[in-house]
Every structure is written in structure tokens, then in C-alpha cells.
């Protein structure tokens, strides 16, 4: 799905997004959102922040945060959530494209993404941009669903993926952790859930792509 259609799709889904992912997501993702929040450090960029479902889980090590998304309607939900959850939550929300991040090199200590590398048209370009805006010594954090290493599950994912891709731009069987390694990231830790479908990955950006230590 191209960027224009993705933006329209998520603008249209924004009002019902939290409800539709709700119960299913709690069963599928379990405690991984909480664990994701606890891995965030310092100046944080959350790429494709959506309706801000991770915001309530941001841990105490977050100093300041920026959330970016293509969809203005999803960002409006995130803005409301940020206010409702914690009036002091220091998050700035920006509309933009993950494949061309509007930030300087090395601007963030943590660059994070959840359940969106399945949706962006070009996950390789997005990871490159995430590496560029991450300072050297910083971390990149992923909470994603990927192709399961269990063959019958992977088969089912491939079978169902075209429908998801068509309606919400979500690819069920991307091998995102492989793409991450191929892009030169070093995986520091990886937690798996549900037959390897869900992964929480903490990674070091590639040494040549981590940018300098410029301010955000």
C-alpha cells in the first residue's frame, strides 16, 4: 500500500483503532508493551506512534519524547491519550514519514517502533532512518510481529497476509529481525512470544549509520 493510501486508511481507522486491537492485542502481545516501555531511555523517538497505545507504559528513564506518525487522526488520539494518562508526559507529536525522518543525525538516545514495520512500505529504509537519527551508543527498540519460525504458523501467516495487506497495509509474514541484522544492527536482546510471532528486540545501530551526537 502506498503512503497516500496508508494515511487515508489510518485516518479512517483512528476512531476505532484502540477498540479493534483491544482484547485481541492484550492476548497476543501480553506484557510486551510494558516491557517495551521499560526499555526506553533518555530522549526517545517513537516512530509510527499511532494512537499512542505505548504511552501509558513509558518508564521513568524517559526524559523527553517525540512521536511521529503519517496519520493526523492517529496523532490526535495519541495527543488525547498523552493528556489523559499523564498531563506531564513530555511528548511532542509530529506528522511525517518514517522513511524520511525530519530529524537530525544522532538526535535521540532511543529510537523505537511497535507493530509498524509490518505496515511501512519499505522497512529497510525505515530502519536506516532509525539508525541515522539514533546517537552512537544509543539503542533501537522494536516490538513487532514477524514470520514465525514454526512452519505451519508461517504458512497460515502467508495465507492470511494478502487480506491484511489489502485492507490495512499490514504484512503478516515479514522477516523484520532478519532485515534488521542485514541492515547492520547488532541484536542485544530478543524476547519471543506466541511461537516466535511477536518479538521485542533491543539493538545497537550499525556503527556507520548511528549519526553523531547532535541535539534534537
Q: Name the minimum Å distance from CB 119 to ligand SAM.
A: 4
How many residues bind ligand SAM (CB under 6 A)? The answer is 19
Nearest to 38 by CA among 56, 18, 20: 56
Could you tell me which stretch among 55-63, 111-119, 132-140, 182-190 binds ligand SAM (CB under 6 A)? Answer: 111-119
Residue 77 vs 135, nearer CB to ligand SAM: 77
Q: Which residues contact 82 (CB under 8 A, 6 or more apart)?
A: 52, 55, 89, 91, 93
Q: Which residues contact 146 (CB under 8 A, 6 or more apart)?
A: 118, 173, 174, 175, 176, 177, 196, 197, 198, 199
Cα atoms found within 13 Å of the Cα of residue 150, Cβ hemisphere only: 11
Q: Name the minimum Å distance from CB 108 to ligand SAM.
A: 16
Q: Does 10 bind ligand SAM (CB under 6 A)?
A: yes
Q: Tell me, residue by residue from 117 to 146, as one string, x for binding to ligand SAM by CB under 6 A and - for no binding.
A: --xx--------------------------
Q: Name the minimum Å distance from CB 31 to ligand SAM.
A: 14
Facing residues of 68 across strands?
47, 94
Q: Does 99 bind ligand SAM (CB under 6 A)?
A: yes
Q: Name the minimum Å distance from CB 78 to ligand SAM.
A: 9
Q: Does 157 bind ligand SAM (CB under 6 A)?
A: no
Alpha helices for the chain (secondary structure H)? 3-29, 32-38, 72-85, 123-133, 151-168, 176-182
Residue 30 vs 137, nearer CB to ligand SAM: 30
d(CA 81, CA 90): 12
Please give the residue ranges that form the binding site for ligand SAM (CB under 6 A). Answer: 3, 6, 10, 48-50, 53, 69-71, 74, 97-99, 114-116, 119-120
Amino acid at each position: 500500500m502506498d503512503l497516500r493510501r496508508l494515511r487515508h486508511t489510518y485516518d479512517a481507522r483512528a476512531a476505532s483503532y484502540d477498540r479493534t486491537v483491544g482484547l485481541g492485542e492484550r492476548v497476543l502481545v501480553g506484557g510486551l508493551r510494558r516491557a517495551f516501555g521499560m526499555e526506553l531511555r533518555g530522549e526517545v523517538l517513537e516512530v509510527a506512534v499511532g494512537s499512542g497505545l505505548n504511552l501509558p507504559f513509558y518508564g521513568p528513564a524517559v526524559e523527553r519524547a517525540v512521536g511521529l506518525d503519517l496519520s493526523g487522526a492517529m496523532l490526535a488520539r495519541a495527543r488525547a491519550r498523552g493528556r489523559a494518562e499523564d498531563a506531564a508526559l513530555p511528548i511532542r507529536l509530529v506528522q511525517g514519514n518514517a522513511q524520511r525522518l525530519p530529524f537530525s543525525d544522532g538526535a535521540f538516545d532511543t529510537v523505537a517502533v511497535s507493530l509498524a514495520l509490518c505496515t511501512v512500505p519499505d522497512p529497510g529504509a525505515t530502519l536506516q532512518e532509525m539508525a541515522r537519527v539514533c546517537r552512537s551508543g544509543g539503542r533501537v527498540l522494536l516490538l513487532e510481529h514477524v514470520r514465525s519460525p514454526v512452519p505451519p504458523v508461517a504458512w497460515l501467516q502467508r495465507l492470511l497476509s494478502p487480506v491484511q495487506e489489502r485492507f490495512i497495509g499490514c504484512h503478516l509474514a515479514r522477516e523484520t529481525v532478519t532485515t534488521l541484522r542485514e541492515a547492520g544492527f547488532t541484536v542485544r536482546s530478543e524476547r519471543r512470544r506466541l511461537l516466535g510471532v511477536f518479538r521485542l528486540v533491543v539493538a545497537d545501530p550499525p556503527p556507520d549509520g548511528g549519526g553523531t551526537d547532535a541535539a534534537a
